[in-house]
Amino acid sequence: MTAPAPADHRFLRALARQPVDRTPVWMMRQAGRYLPEYRAARERAGDFMTLCRTPELACEVTLQPLRRFALDAAILFSDILTIPDALGLGLHFVEGEGPRFERPLRDAAAIRALRRLETETDLAYVLDAVRLIRRELDGRVPLIGFSGSPWTLACYMVEGGSPGDFARIKTLIYDEPALAHHLLDHLAGAVTDYLNAQIRAGAEAVQIFDTWGGALSTPAFEAFSHRYLQQVVGGLIRQQDGRAVPVIVFTKGGGLWLEALAATGADALGIDWTIELGAARRRVGDRVALQGNLDPAILRTRPAVIRAEVERLLASYGAGSGHVMNLGHGITPDIPVEHAAAFVAAVAEFSPAFHR
């Protein structure tokens, strides 16, 4: 089989709101612990960061889900916290507790001393992985690169781990807004450089994970998250090797702010499961495509329940292009592989009817 030219991939066509034969589908965290072959690779690597830092291993786990399911995109296997790790904060993972930094940003001096990211050297392992994965994919499906948003990175860097009640980072933005803006501006520059380097290395689309945007009030979201999403999107390479490079912005819990998110300049918005696809589509019109939004908890149930929900989501979005099916958040380790398979297969089965 000859690989189609990249622009013909239905994932990229759907992001451009061009006609497709069926709705494309991928899953956030599709290369993850629910796959036995992933767990085996992780065990061989010894720890999570070795998996991220070794291009051959990152490539291997990136490709694993594509061997099982008819997915329409691959996503670089990496972590959203590679930038702060590269900046010297010392990322490590505590079993069952998520990411931790050895040297979180605990005062103004630490924030002001943060050095500039030198992506090509600091994160060479990521760019090597992107190049290797592109080569191995050989045009079968597009490769998505990604980064955490400036706000989301700042949350982890200031809190020292998962933000919990956001006590430190919210004190920073409300009590020392100038210092917060200094940090966020620095991170926006780093995220822009990092995503552009991924694009130059071969990423055919990029996604910005604004995991914690939804924890903010509307004006705080505008000032401390949205503004820097816009800054990043505005600085991205949008054409590479003669093809458009679409940008997906995913603010978890951002359903109230879809119009503002559509105005960032992104090509598509990721949405979580709290908002209806149809309602979201009516609000953003033809300004952006939408990606989402099955509640990943549904993957725990039964294939019949998963299939019914996929059909409901497709009907909610309605006829026409501009939708990439996905979960509303990452797939969790306890999901049976055959349930993930049922999700992907249901999209292939039910979606052609919406594209005639």
- Segment 128-167, which members bind its own copies (CB under 8 A)? 165-167
The least CB distance from residue 342 to its own copies, in Å, is: 13
Kind plus residue range of the DSSP H or E element containing 188:
helix 177-201
Catalytic residue selected from 72, 79, 193, 272: 79
Number of residues that bind its own copies (CB under 8 A): 35
* CB-count burial class (<10 Å; 0-12, 13-18, 19+) for 263: middle
Catalytic residue selected from 22, 29, 100, 134: 29
Q: Which is nearer to its own copies, 300 or 355 (CB)?
A: 300
- Segment 309-328, which members bind its own copies (CB under 8 A)? 309, 312, 328
The least CB distance from residue 301 to its own copies, in Å, is: 4
Q: Which stretch binds its own copies (CB under 8 A): 109-117, 154-162, 180-188, 212-220?
A: 212-220
Check binding of 220 to its own copies (CB under 8 A): yes
Instruction: Please choose, from the candidates 61, 35, 64, 67, the residue with its C-alpha nearest in 3D space to the C-alpha of residue 48.
Output: 61
SS3 label, residue 293: strand
Check binding of 354 to its own copies (CB under 8 A): no
Kind plus residue range of the DSSP H or E element containing 157:
helix 150-159
- Helix axis angle, 124-137 relative to 55-68, nearest 10°? 40
Pairing type for strands 289-294 and 323-327 reads: parallel
Give the contacts of 5 (CB within 8 A, at least 6 positions apart): 139
Q: Which stretch binds its own copies (CB under 8 A): 49-57, 61-69, 90-98, 209-217?
A: 209-217
Pairing type for strands 247-251 and 205-210 reads: parallel
SS3 label, residue 270: strand
- Segment 252-271, which members bind its own copies (CB under 8 A)? 253, 255-256
- State the binding string over 276-305 for its own copies (x if CB under 8 A, else -): x--x-------------x-x-xx-xxx--x
- Segment 38-67, which members bind its own copies (CB under 8 A)? none
Q: Which is nearer to its own copies, 68 or 227 (CB)?
A: 227
Sign of CA dihedral 75, 76, 78, 81: negative
29 labelled catalytic: yes
SS3 label, residue 31: coil
Catalytic amino acids?
A: 29, 33, 42, 79, 156
Q: What is the contact surface with its own copies in residues (CB under 8 A)?
A: 165-167, 170-171, 174-175, 214, 216-221, 253, 255-256, 273-276, 279, 293, 295, 297-298, 300-302, 305, 309, 312, 328, 332, 334
